[in-house]
Chain A
Amino acid sequence: MSTTTPPSDESIVSEKVVPRVPTLDDPQPTTPVTATFAPGTAADPPVGAETAATVTVNGTAVQVPAGATVIDAIEMVDDTVATVASGTEAVEAEATIPALCHYDREGDGSDQIGPRSECRTCMVETQEAGMVPACSYPATDGLTIETETPEAAEARSVNLDLVLSNHNLRCTTCNGNGRCELQSAAVGEGVDHPRYGVFGERDLYEPIDDTSSFIQIDRNKCILCTRCVDACNDVQVEGVLRIEGYGSDTRIGFQSDAETMAASNCVSCGHCSTVCPTGALTEKGIGGATTLPLPGFTQRNSVGRVIEHEAVETIDETAAPNRGDPDVPAPTGVAAYIQRARERAGALAEEAVIGGEHLAENIAVAAVPEKYLFDIASTVSDQRLARIDRAETTCGFCAVGCRFEMWGKDGDSLGVVPVDDPTKAPANNFSTCVKGKFGHEFANSPRRVTEPLVRTPDGDFEPVGWDEALDLVARRLREVQEQHGVDAVGCLASSKGTNEEAYLVQKFARAVLGTKNIDNCARLCHSSTVAALKRTVGFGAMTNRINEDIGTADAYLITGSNTTESHPVLATRIKQNVRDGATLIVFDPRKVGIAEHADQFIQTRPGYDVMWLNGLMHHIIAEDMHDKAFIERNTTGFEELREKVAAFSPERVEEVTGIPADELRQAAETLAAAETVVFGWAMGMTQQSHGTENLLAMADLCLLLGQIGKPGAGMSPFRGQNNVQGGGGDMGTLPNVLPGYQPLDDPEVTAKFERVWGAAPPSEEGLKVPEMFKEIHAGNMRGMYIVGENPALSEPDISHAATALEQLEFLVVQDIFITETAEYADVILPAATSPEKHGTFTNTERRIQRVRASASPPGRARQDWEITSALARRLGHDWQYDHPSEIMDEIASLTPIYGGVSYERLEEGDQHGLQWPCWDAEHPGTPYLYDYDEGEFNFPDGKARFVPADGGHPGEIADEAYPYTLTSGRVLYHWHTGQITRRVEGLMSHVGESFVEIHPETAEELSIADGEYVRVRSRRGAIVVRATVTDRVGPATLFIPMHFAAGAVNKLTQETYDPTSGIPEYKITSVEVEPLGPDADPNELRTPDVGSGTAADD
C-alpha cells in the first residue's frame, strides 16, 4: 500500500500579509481563540427574513416567523402542497426538493451549521426574485413561491447531477453507505444515469487520510458542503478544519500547517464525521459496517492510495505503554514496531485483493447505470443496517449526560451517531467529545474479565463458575462479619454504574450486610461541594441547566475547572456563548483551554482560593454592588459575611495570593455589572484541605450578587463521572445519608426503608473512603466489596493505600477489567459496562436519563444489578428484580426527590429525562433550583444562608527540600484511573503516557528539556514522567495527570483531608524535580508504579 503525501496547495494561505482594513471597527464578538480562526469560509449574513411574514407556497398562504427561510415556509405547508427534506428523510418522505447540503436538525448547536447554500439542489421559483435557493432565501412578506415550475425542477436536477459529477460513486465500498445523504437524494430524485457522469478517474483520486485513529477522510467523496468546517469552528469552537483552495482545487484542509489529520491539532470530537452527509468523513469504528461484505472490498482498497495510521501502544498490550527513549516521540517500543510490521505485511497481502476489487469496480462502472449501483448499495446497506444493534443511550464518560445512538454488532460496540430526535439529547443535541464519540472500544477489549476469577493459594487467579464465586463471596463476607463485627466490612459503590446499581450496592451494604460503611468515589471529587451547598442553599447539586442557563449566561466565573478537557460538550456551550459576546473570567493555576477563551484570566497559586473569593466580596460590598433586595428577601447571615470579608481588601489579597488588586477589582466589577452570572467549578476548588470553605465562599459570592433562581444564572459544580450525581450521591451511597439525602437518624425515614427492605438501615454514620483505609491499617476493617472503583490508583499516597488493600482479609472486586485494585482481590466478579446496560444515569444538571444496551457483556460477565442481587440472595435476602425499571420503582417509592420518576416518564414530555426534585407522578421536574423572587431554598424558612469562609494554608507548603507545588487533574483523552481509556488506541495516540507540565523558567532553572524524562519526588515517593515545558502552568507550579499507572501522580500526593467532607487534597503537593536525560532507566520506564501489569502479559 503506498503512502503518499497529498499535493500541497500553494494558494491555501498567501504569504502576502492579508490587508485587512485596519481601522474599520469589527463589532462582532470574538474570543482570543476564535479571533485566530481561519476557516476559509465567508462570514455569511444572518439567515432568514428580518420580520414575520406571510408567503405563498404553490398557491397556499402560510405565515412564518421572523428568521424564516423559504425552506421553513415549505416545511410549514401541508405535504400535499410541497415537501422538502434532506438525507434519508428525503427518501422516506418522497420529498420533491432534495436540499442536499442543508443540515436539517432542530436545536441551537445545529443552527451553527450552514446554511451554506452550496449545492443549489433546493432551487424554487419566486415571482419576485426569480429562482432562489430555498434553504437560505429569506421568506420575506408577500413572497410567492412555486416549487414545481419546469425551470426549478431542471435546476434541482442539473445541480444534483453536478454534485454527482465530482463524487466518487463507490457506494458498495463506502463507509457512508446507507447513511449517505447524497445517495438518498439521488435515490429520492430517481437519478438513473447522471448527465455528467461521476468522478471515477483513478489517477486523480486523492489518497485517503487514514492517519487519525478515529476519523477517516476520503476527499473523493466530499461534496464541499463545509458542514464539517462549521461543526469544527462554530459548534465545537476548535478551529481545526478549514476550506482551502479555489475552483476545482477547493478541498477540506487544516488551519495548522498539517497535511494530515494526525498531524493536525484535531481533538477528535467527531463533530465533523457526525455532520458529514457522505462518506468523506467517517468514524473508523463504524467504517464498513454497511458495505458489501466481501473481503477486500473496502473504501481504503477502492480508493487504493492511503496515508496510513501509525498505531501506539495500549495497556492491553503492555503494562507501561509508549514510554521509552526521550529523543523519540511516542509511540515507541517493540509492540509498536510489531504492529507496524504487521500492517506492512497486511498491506502487501492485500494488493492482490485490491487489484481484483478495482477490476470488478471498473467493470461495474462501465457496464451498469448508476441507478443500479444505488439499488445494490441500498440493498446491501439495508440488510447490513438491519443486523446492527442500535440503541439510544446516555454517555458513560463525564456527567454532562450526552445522549446518542450507539451502534453494536455481534455483541461488540461499533460507535456512536446522533439520536434522530434532538429532544432526546437535551444536553448535547448532536454534540459529542472524543471519549463519547470514539472511546467505547474498551468494551471490546480482549482483556475484559469474562468469567468469575478466584485467587488460588499460590496467588494466581483461576476461573470458576458463578455459583462457586458467589458462594465464596457470601461465605467469606459472612465469616469476616461474624469474626470482626458487621462494620468490619465496607462497600464502595460506583459513580460509573447506573442509579439502580448504586442503589442496590448501598441497599446491599445496609440491608444485607448491615454495615454502616458505604461510600463511593464522589468522596474524592465533589464531596466538599455537596457539603458547602447543603449548608448554604440546601441541595448539594448544580442549581441550573446546561444549555438553557450555562449556555446563555451574560458572564461566567469559572475556577478550578479544566472545562474543555473534563466537560468538553458543556465547555463548547460556554465557548460559543463567549464568542457571541458573553464575558468569561477564569481563575486557575493553569492556563487551561477554557482560559484561552477568557476575557480575564487570573493565574492563581494553588491553595488560596478563599482569599480571592473573599476579596471579590470585599470589593463588591465596599462599592455597594451587592443585590441588597435579594439578600434582604431571601438570605440570612449577611452581617456575619460582611464582617468576615472586611479584612480581605484587594491589597491584602494581593499580598497573600499575588493576584494584582486591580485585577481582582476588575473581576468583581465585571461580575457585579452582569445581568446574569454562572459560577462554574470543579476539582480545582474541591480537592483541597479547605475545599468546603472554598465552596462556602463561592456560594456566598453567588448569593451576594443574587445570581441564583433565575434563567442564565446559578451555581454549576461540574460533576465529574457520568453518574456521580445519581450513583455517587442521590442513591445514598454515602456514609451519612440514605437515598435522596434522607437522614439516617430520622425514625420515620428508617422505618420507611425497613418496610421495603425488610431490614432497617444502620442509624449510625459510617466511614468515609479515607477513613476506611485508615481503619484497615488499624486492623478494624477486614473485608471490602468494591464495585467499579479503583482506589489502588485513585487514593492519595497510593503506596499507603496499597498496603491497606494487601492487608484486607477478604476483598471482592466487581469490575470489567483486572484493575490495579482487582490485582489485590480474592474474588473478581466480571461485570458489564455502559454500552451493555439498561438503567439510568443522573447528569450534572440533575437530569435522570435512560441508558440502553447495544452490546452484550462478554463471556459470562453479568449486569452489576444482577450480580449484587445474586449475592443478596446468597445471603438470605429475597431480591427478585427482573429489570432495572423495577429497581427504579423502588427508588421512587423511597426517595422523595425521585418520587415521580419512572422509565415511562423519562421518555415522555418535551425533552428526554426528568430533573429532580420530581416529587410525584404529576410533578414536571425542576429545571433550576430555587427562585430569585421567592427564595425557595431547601430549608424550612426557605432562606439561603451566608456562611462566612476562612481559608488558611494548604496541608503542605513548598519548602527548601520540596520547592515546587504539584497539582493534578485530567486530560481530555482519559478518564479517571484510565482503566478504560488506556485501552483505546486512539485515545492513547493523543496522550499515550503520563507527563509533567513545567514552566519554561522552572525548566531552565533545572536544565530540563522538553520531552525529557524527569523524576518527580515528594515526601511519599517518586515517579518518572516525561517533561512538557509549557507556560500553561505558572512558575514553580507543576501539573501531572491522574490517569496513569506508569507515572502515577498519587504516589506523590498526601493524605491531607478537608475536615468537613473528607476530600483529599490532591491539588497541592510539595515536590522536587530532577532531570534524567539519557540516564532514564528503560526498565523503570517500562514498569508501572501501580499494579504489576500482569494483565497485559498473558
Chain B
Amino acid sequence: MVGRLICLHMTSEAGTIRIAAGWGSRDAERLVAAAEEDAGAVRVLRTGPVGVAGWEPVLFATTAERTSVYPAPSIATVSEVIAAVEEGDGPPGPPHSVSHPGTATRRPAVSGTPLDAGEDRIVGYAGWVNPMAATDIPSSLDLFAGAARSVRGRGWGDAAEDIPVGEVWDRLPPDTTDGIVVVNAADPHRLAQVDRFLMETQPGRIIGTAVALCDALDAADLVVVLPGDADQLAARLTEGMTGAASVSAQVICGPELFHATEPAALVEYLEGNDRIEPRRSPPGPERFGVFGRPTLIHTPRTLAQIAAVDEEGQVGDDPGTRLFHVCGDVRVERTIELAPSQPIGMAVAAAADRDEVGMVIVGGVFGGFTTDLDLPANVSALQAAGVGTDGVIEVCAPHRCPVRIAGDRISYAAESNSGRCVPGREGTVQLTELLRSVYSGDLDAAGIEELARVMRHSSNCRLAAAATRPVTTALAQFRSAFEAHAAGECPTGGCPQLS
C-alpha cells in the first residue's frame, strides 16, 4: 500500500545524478532543472539534505562502480558531469570519489569530505534515497511482536521517551479500531534538528513505518506533525502521499510553542484547542489521546530506529543507533549517527577541534553538562551521567560560562512552560531566582538541589523535570564556578555583569 503511494527508489544503469539539499533550496532547484534538461539516459534524482550545514547542494554522480561528489556545483559543472556520465567516461576528475556498487541503497562514506564520519544506518539514506521511497516493513503483527519492541523512544516529542516502545504499545486498549498514529516532528526549538532532517531526507521510510503501525493497531488515521514553519515540506509531503488508501493520512504544521509539542500537549493541538497545555496523566495519549481515541505518538527518530531494528533484528538494552545534531562552538553544524557503544566524543570530533571544546551539553535545550567525551551514546550511560538523551550535542568553547548557560536555560523554561502545574510555572521561576541570587553572592546549593528534586518528581509534564537538568548538572560539574560567581567573579569571563 505504501509502495502504491510513494515512488520506489530507482536507479538507472546509465548512471544516476543526485542533487541533495534541503527542501526550499533555490540553488538546488536550479541545478535540478538544468540537470533534467541535459539528462538523457541518466536518471536525475532530487534528494534531501546530507546533514552538513553549508555544504549543500551536493551533486552525487553515480555509475555502476563509483560515486563522485561535487559540493556546491555550478550549473556548468552539472552539465559537464552529466555529459561525461552519459558518454560512459565516468565523472570528470573530481577531488572526491569512492568506489562502490552503484546500486547501493545507502550513501557510501566519502573520505576527505564531511561524509565520512559516524554510522550510516539512518544517515546513509540522507541525500541518497528518493525521500518519498517507502521502507519495506514486514507484516504488522511481526512489527508489534518483534525486535522493534525494545527500541527506546527518542526525544521530547515521543510518548515513549527513553523507554522501550513496546511498553507503550502494551498499554493500548485491546481491540482498538479508532486509533490514531502521530508522527511528531514538531519540536520547534532551534536545537531540535534531527527529526526535521529525517522528514526532509527519508519521509517515505518514516511514514511507511508509521503506516505499518497503523496496520498493527488497526488505526484509522495517521497524522504527521511538522515544525510550525515547515509549510513547504508539508506541502511536498501532502502531495507525495496523495492517493493513500488504507489510512487517512494528513500532514500539518505544528505549534510554534516548545511546551506544546510534548505528546500530552500535542494531542490538545490536534484537537484544535486554542491554548495548549499538557493533559493530566496517566493515562497517556495511548489510552486517551486525540478526542479520547487511543493515540500513538512517536518521533521520526524513533520510527527510523523501529524500521532499522526491525530490518536487522538487533536486540539489546538500547538497540539501534542515536542521531545527534552537533552544534554550538563547532566548525560546522552537522548530524552524526553513533552506535550505542560509540563515545559522544566521536560526534564532537567530527564537528570541532578537541582543544576548542570546554564542555558539552547533551540532550537539547534541557540537556546536561559534561566534560566526559568518552560517554557512550546509549540511554543507560547518558542517564547515569545525568545528561539528556535527546539528540543534540552542544559544544561549548572553554570561554563559555556554565552558570550563565544554566541560568539562561532555566529562564527559558520559566518563559516557555504551559503554566499548568506549580512545579512548572512557579518552580521554574523560583529556580531562576535562586540562580540569579548566585550573582548577588547567595549560593544556596542545597536549596537549588531541593527545588530541582521536587520539580523532577512532581511536575505534570516532562518540561519542568527536564528543565532542572542544566542547573543540576552545571552545579554538580562546576561547583567551583558557582562559588566563584557567588564571590563576584566569573572564571571564564562569560558573564558581563561580573568583572
Contacts and interface: CB of A to CB of B under 8 A. Distances in A.
A18 B292 contact: no
Interface string B406-434: 00000000111111111101111110010
A159 B291 CA distance: 31
Nearest to B433: A196
Contacts of A136: 280
B221 interface: yes
B253 interface: yes
B274 A166 contact: no
Interface string B249-279: 0101100010100001100111111110111
Contacts of B290: 21, 24
Given A27-B293, A38-B274, A45 B457 contact: no
Nearest to A250: B419
Contacts of A250: 418-420, 425
A333 interface: no
B454 A158 contact: yes
Contact of A246 (B223, B417, B422, B450): B417
A195 B433 CA distance: 12
Contacts of B420: 42, 118, 250
B128 interface: no
Given A21-B223, A162-B422, A151 B457 contact: yes
Interface in A137-167: 137-138, 151, 154-155, 158-159, 162-163, 165-166
A24 B453 contact: no
A151 B259 CA distance: 27
B237 to A, nearest CB: 15
A137 B414 contact: no
Interface stretch (B80-88, B98-106, B148-156, B281-289): B281-289
A246 B416 contact: yes
A483 interface: no
Interface string A19-60: 111111111100000000010111111100000000000000
Contact of B425 (A23, A130, A244, A247): A247
A117 interface: yes
A121 B422 CA distance: 9
B328 to A, nearest CB: 26
Nearest to A225: B422
Contacts of B428: 247
B419 A248 contact: yes
B458 A40 contact: no
B54 interface: no
Contacts of A130: 457
Given A42-B268, A123-B458, A159 B423 contact: yes
Nearest to B455: A158
Contacts of A42: 264-265, 268, 273, 277-280, 420
A26 B291 contact: yes
Contacts of B341: none
A245 B418 CA distance: 8
Nearest to B415: A247
Given A24-B223, A24-B290, A120 B275 contact: no
A118 B421 contact: yes
Contacts of A224: 419, 425
A119 interface: yes
Contacts of B213: none
Nearest to A196: B430
B351 interface: no
B279 A45 contact: yes
B182 to A, nearest CB: 9
B279 A20 contact: no
Given A159-B423, A250-B419, A20 B271 contact: yes
Interface in A427-484: none
Contacts of B447: 195
A568 interface: no
B178 interface: yes
Interface residues of B, number: 60
Which residue of B253, B283, B420 has the most chain A CB atoms within 10 A of its CB atom? B420
Nearest to B277: A42
Given A21-B250, A45-B279, A154-B453, A246 B221 contact: no
B245 to A, nearest CB: 14
Contacts of A248: 414-415, 419, 425, 429
B180 to A, nearest CB: 7
Contact of B281 (A12, A28, A45, A243): A45
Q: Dominant SS at the A interface?
A: loop
Contacts of B270: 20-21, 24
B191 interface: no
A243 B422 contact: no
A13 B453 contact: no
A80 interface: no
B178 A120 contact: no
B451 interface: yes
Contacts of B419: 224, 243, 245-250
A8 interface: no
B248 A165 contact: no
A158 B418 contact: no
Interface string A176-202: 000000000000000000011000000
A102 B287 CA distance: 24
Contacts of A155: 454, 457-458
Nearest to B447: A195
A118 B277 contact: no
A14 interface: yes
A66 to B, nearest CB: 14
Chain A CB within 10 Å, residue with most, of B220, B273, B275, B292: B275
A589 interface: no
B416 A163 contact: no
Contacts of A1080: none
Contacts of A245: 419
Counting chain B CB atoms within 10 Å of each CB, the highest count among A13, A42, A46 belongs to A42
Interface in B162-186: 178, 180
B460 interface: yes
A712 interface: no
Nearest to B220: A25
A246 B250 contact: no
Contact of A43 (B220, B268, B451): B268
Contacts of A419: none
Contacts of A45: 279-283, 287-288, 292
A26 B290 CA distance: 8
B422 A40 contact: no
Contacts of A46: 288
Given A43-B268, A247-B416, A120 B422 contact: yes
Contacts of B427: 162
Nearest to B280: A44
Contacts of A137: 282
Nearest to A40: B275
B457 A118 contact: no
A625 interface: no
A706 interface: no
Nearest to B413: A247
A133 interface: yes
A714 interface: no
A789 B57 CA distance: 89
Which of B416, B417, B458 has the most chain A CB atoms inside 10 A of its CB? B458
16 contacts: A23-B221, A24-B290, A25-B178, A25-B220, A44-B279, A115-B280, A117-B460, A118-B460, A120-B423, A136-B280, A165-B430, A166-B429, A196-B433, A246-B416, A247-B414, A250-B420
Ranked 8 nearest A-B pairs via Cβ: A20-B272, A250-B419, A45-B288, A40-B275, A162-B426, A131-B457, A158-B454, A42-B279
Interface of A: 12-14, 18-28, 38, 40-46, 115-121, 123, 130-131, 133, 136-138, 151, 154-155, 158-159, 162-163, 165-166, 195-196, 224, 242-250
